[in-house]
Amino acid sequence: MPTFKNSNGQLYTKRLFFETSGDVNDKSFTLYTLKDEDYTVDGKTYISLYKRYLELEDLTEFDFATLYFDSYEHFKILCQANWFFEHVLRWRNELRLKIKAKVLKKLRSTSDDIQNKNYFEANKLLLNHLSEADKNKTKRGRPSKEEIAHNLKQTAKEDEMTTDDHKRIFAE
């Protein structure tokens, strides 16, 4: 049974992961990796939580949390940490897509079988899904803060390059 708490009863967070455990020499409490595949170094294999998260397909995250952490509360604490949240957000998005792809594949199979009693309904759902996808492609809302910041940096960089070129050409 892995240890998830220190001697004071505080839950480990960063120390559980190879990438964030800090002390290079003492990885005794390190169990997991944030990499997409299991990672083996010096004969010890660190479990890829990304891989296990997608394999388990647990939309509630309860089973995943109780299987790989001290409790669901422990997992919630990790999810609130900025360094971990970006990873779990990616996992959630990919799991949602994986399950959606699986459902659409089954729906597609049903829509191809004329003998299936749900043939008409499956085709109707697929058409609705395609219509929604088309709507989402044509709609464009306000750019995100990240897009604005990126465009601003890009514009500033281009302005700087133009100024440098001007100075170089006109030897100012």
Q: Read off the pLDDT of residues 85-140 as tens digits, 9 standing for 90 and up.
A: 999 999 999 999 999 899 889 888 888 888 888 888 888 888 888 877 766 665 57
How confident is residue 169, by pLDDT bands cut at 50, 70 and 90? confident
| pLDDT > 90? residue 146 | no
Domain boundary at 50, 67, 100, which? 100
Range of the domain at 155: 101-170
Structure tokens at 143: 């750019």
Q: What is the pLDDT of residues 10-43, one digit of tens each?
A: 999 999 999 998 766 678 789 999 999 999 998 9
Domain boundary at 100, 119, 143, which? 100
The reply to whether 96 and 141 lie within a common domain is no
The reply to whether 92 and 7 lie within a common domain is yes
Domain boundary at 41, 75, 100, which? 100
Spatial neighbors of 37 by CB under 8 A, at least 6 apart, are: 48, 51
The reply to whether 2 and 73 lie within a common domain is yes
The count of domains in the chain is 2
* Residue-by-residue DSSP string for 61-84: -HHHHHHHSS-HHHHHHHHHSHHH
